[in-house]
Structure formats: C-alpha cells, structure tokens
Amino acid sequence: RTHSQISQVIREYRKTSYRVPMAIL
C-alpha cells in the first residue's frame, strides 16, 4: 500500500543527495 510511496520518496531523496550531499550532513 505505501511501498510505492516509499520508493518514490527514496528516489527523490537520492536525487537531492546527489545535488547537495553535504547539505544533508
């Protein structure tokens, strides 16, 4: 049920991590 949403969130999270990996830390 929420597996699809989690996958999408992780995808966006990874994209942001690539753009600003230092900002997250």
Helix or strand or coil: residue 20?
A: coil
User: Do 20 and 14 form a contact (C-beta atoms < 8 A)?
Assistant: no
Instruction: Give residue 22's pLDDT.
Output: 64
Instruction: Give residue 17's pLDDT.
Output: 65
Task: Encode pLDDT of 1-25 as tens digits.
Answer: 678 898 998 888 887 766 666 665 5
Instruction: Give residue 12's pLDDT.
Output: 85
pTM value surpassing 0.85: no
Domain ranges of the chain: 1-25
CA 21, CA 2: separation in Å to the nearest integer? Answer: 26
Q: 4 burial class (0-12, 13-18, 19+ CB within 10 angstroms)?
A: exposed
Instruction: Give the closest residue to 15 by CA, choosing from 1, 4, 7, 3.
Output: 7
Instruction: Give residue 25's pLDDT.
Output: 59
